[in-house]
Structures are given as C-alpha cells and as structure tokens.
Structure 1
Amino acid sequence: MANTATSNYNTNEGIYEVKVNGTVVAGRSNSSEATTIKDRLNKIFSDPNRDLDFIIPSYVNGQYVICCPLVRKNQGHKTYFYDTTSNATNNYYDEKLYEPTNWQDGSTAALQSAIMTIPSTVTAPWYDALVTANLIRKSITLNSADASGSTSCRQLIKPTNIKSTSTVVSNSVSGQVYGVPCQGTQAGTTSTCPELGYPAQNILSAVCSNGEVFHPQDLVCALTSSNSWSSTYRNKFIKITNTSTNKSIVVRVVDTAPANKGVELSYRAWISIDKPSTVKFEVMDS
C-alpha cells in the first residue's frame, strides 16, 4: 500500500493517536475507537483504484463525519459533462464522480467508505470534520491524479468564520441541489433523473469556482451570483435551514450558481436536511 494508518497510545497527552504515514491525524480517548479508525483507513488504502481525493467531511445520522465515497478508477465508469456539441460522448471523466455512498463499513476494501465520526461534544463539529479531513489529505499519497489533474492531494479551503453563532442573510431563498447521482450518467446536456422527477442538467466541470474538485458527498454549496452572494461568501461557512422541517446543516461556499438560483446544495447536504425547496440562509460569525 502507498499509505498506512497506525495507532498508538501517547503517554504524554494521555490519548490514543491515529497516524497516517507517521503523521498524527486524530486522537481518541479509548483504544477501540482509534483502532476502528485505523482499520477503516487501512481498508480504504488497500484499494488501489480508490480516488483518495474524495476523503472529505460529510454528514450521517445527524452527525458530522469523515468518509471516502466509493469513487474508483478502472471500473469502466463515466461522468459526462454538459456539452451541446456532436462530441458530447467524448466529454467525460473516467470515474463515477457523484457516487452517493458516504458511510459504509464494507466487507471488502472496495466497499469501505466510513472513516470516523466527529464527537458531538465539540463546539463546531463541521469545522473539526474539515480540519481532520485535511490532516488525512495532507498525509496521503494519491493512487492517481485527481479530477483536476493534480497528483498531490490538495487541502480543502478552510474558512475563517468558525464560530458556532450565525447572522441571518435571508429568511427565505430558493434551495436546490447539484451532484445528484443521476447527473452525468448520459452524454449531452441532461441526464434522466427519477429522484428529481425531471432531467438533471449535467455539470459543466469536475472543478468548482474556488478551484477544488467538486465532491457531492462533501458539505458544500454554490451560491447565486445575484446580490454578489457568491463572491461575498466564497470560502465561508454558512448555515442552511430547511424552512419546512427546521433541519439545518453548515456548509462551505465553493461554487457559483446562476443568477436568481439561490443556494444549490451538494447532494449530501441536500438530503441531510430533507431535500428543501426553500431555505433560510445564515453566515457563521467570525
């Protein structure tokens, strides 16, 4: 394996450390938790086809987590991008970029996606998830170049507004989604999408406006260009609340949505708050 996870007890700190390639990436108060994280990482690392750029923060069962969705090379998969030309069938990336499995303890390496849960006792678990994911990303060697062509695992941009309090920007704005698993399954401009009930427009590129590869299971969003929202809140944490169910999630702004489109949530963020059509938008305080 190109990467290896280990665990040990740090007597000075009184914690069980998890290391990736010799670098500490997490600490836990008991050995079983540290061992579980180590074993999950090593199972993922043993899959030579896994796209490790998809080690990301995510959300499951009401908790912020870190996972590695089952995005793999050499499987004959294709993700098509928006294309109006006669060459649309050639405009694709050779992975299933919008693979939806974010939390699974698999029976084999190819099925392992769960890594760790962020303790609910921390003040800003969305921030801890991002920081820890970045520690892992900084420590690993990719199996192959990521969807942007980078051969090193780049850091996800870390916002500076990390307080747990927030300020309301809008009490009612359109809530939409992108990165639905059906997107990019057909060449051309749209793909059939039973989950949405209408054809989903294929995404233009694998890369977001802020330069990151788009990870649909990450907690990210695109903000409309209207009202300068996209530029004002780029690379910041914002809180999105489903006005129908009052469920909320904190996401990073990484992309630009078209004018008058409100907020487009990543697939994981969208389904985590019950697929909203109208949302409340707050910016986390600095």
Structure 2
Amino acid sequence: MQYLLQFLWKRRILFAFIAMQAVALTLVVRANSYHRTAVATSANAVTGSMMENYRYVRDFINLSQTNRNLASENATLRSALKSSYFQMYADHDTVVDTLYIQQYSFIDAEVINSSIHKRNNYLTLNRGSAHGVQPDMGVINSDGVVGIVTDVSKHYSTVIPIIHGRTSLSGRFKNAPYFGPVSWPATFGYREARWSDIPRQARIHVGDTVVTDTRSGLYPSGIPIGVVDTFYIEPQDQFYEIDVVLAVDFAALEKVYIVKNLLKGERALLEMRRNNDE
C-alpha cells in the first residue's frame, strides 16, 4: 500500500493533467452538437466492435457443444431415412400391401483414441453400454463405413476398423448385383483395401463405387465403402482381385455413428435354427 501511495504522489501532476483534460473534453462535447455527435458515433463503433468480438469468442467456446448437438440431430435424421426401414409387403392377386418398420437406429459418438499404422488398428469411442452400445454393431460416419464394435464398457467401446487384419465385410457394386468380401492386407495403407471374389463376367471400371449390402446385418444397404482403384485377373482364374480406395479418411476421423440393427436378434435366431438342421 505504501508503494502505491508513493507511486500516485510522484505522478500526481500527470494525473491532475489527465483529469483536467477529461473535464475540458466533457465541457466541449456538451457545448457543441457536432463534437457530441462525433463522440457518440465513435463510442458506438467501439462498442459494436467489442460486442462483435465478444460474440466471436462466445461462439468459439460453444462450438464443441454445437457440434455435439448437430451430431445427435444427424443420428436422428439417419434413423428416419428410408434405408433404415425394413419393407414388409405381400402380394394378394393384383393388390400389394406395403408396410415399413424401422430396422436401424443410430447413436452418435466421438473417436477419442485411434491408430492407423499398425497391423491391427483400433478405435476407441466415448459411448458404451450406458448409451445402448453392444458388441458387433456397425460403425459409420458421414463418408462411409468405419468398422465394427468389438468390446464395450459402461461408457466406452472399442472398434476394429476396416484397416484391421481381421476385418472382412460384404461389399457390392452400387449399380450391379455382384458382391464379395472387403478386407485389409497389412501391407496396405490406411486409405486402401482389397475386394475379392468378383466373378470374371462382371464389368468393372476404375471409379466404380463399392457399397454395403444387407448380408452382414451390420449396416443399411448402400453405405459407401470406397471406389475401385485398380483390378486384375489371372488368365486361369475366375475371380478379380480389386484394390479399393476407402471412402473414410481414418487419419482425420472424429465424429461417427454406431448402427443398431433392431431386427438382428430375429434374423440370428432364424439362421441359428437353419444351421442346427444342417
């Protein structure tokens, strides 16, 4: 406190000068309409600039929450897509009765840990059993297929992505019926995959889109997997080996959606009965 008083006493003349200047400026502004208008305009400009900067800072602070809200809304919208519904119809002579029931719902999640350069890569998501996540659920993002949920705790889950040595999922041409397994050789990069068992009679072009089908029961039909990059077939072989550029950039993966097949149990039970009869 003593140092503060000493500082103020040493600068008393400067402070007195500033105070008198402020009083003089106030009197001039009050006595002259032009100066009063100029000061008001300047004050409004400064205030407006400060408020705009405050809004930018506030929006930046709230950006994370905004993104979470948008992800949740996107999950709801995906659940409402026609591809997320199962079509039920019956032909009665010339009458067709059509009914749709929801088959897929989506849970938004964030990738909180990941690897892309290992032989067997993994992802960790901030959603678990408390959010309705179970093992063997599909995972996608806005670009395409990500992978499959393997292990689940109360608040977290791990995913084996397409870029994992044990991953194999069914893919088909977007505009043709041919299908085959998509896998990831360990020598490939994180944007590549191998598509196999496509028969010789298939017409293939570089740039053809590969999408999901319903054979795995993990994803709705038509989710992008990638596009054809190169393809070849040996003269004695009957099937192509096709290299695919993946739709998802795993090096920049943040927001994902966990796919819940609401009819999975019914299908699994039916197929189990069939297998027991074989």
TM-score category of the 2 structures, normalised to the smaller one: under 0.3
Q: Return the index of the structure with the highest Cα Rg.
A: 2
Question: Normalization by structure 2: what TM-score?
Answer: 0.24
Higher relative contact order (CA 8 A, sep 6+): 1
User: Could you state the TM-score of these two structures normalised by the residue count of structure 1?
Assistant: 0.24
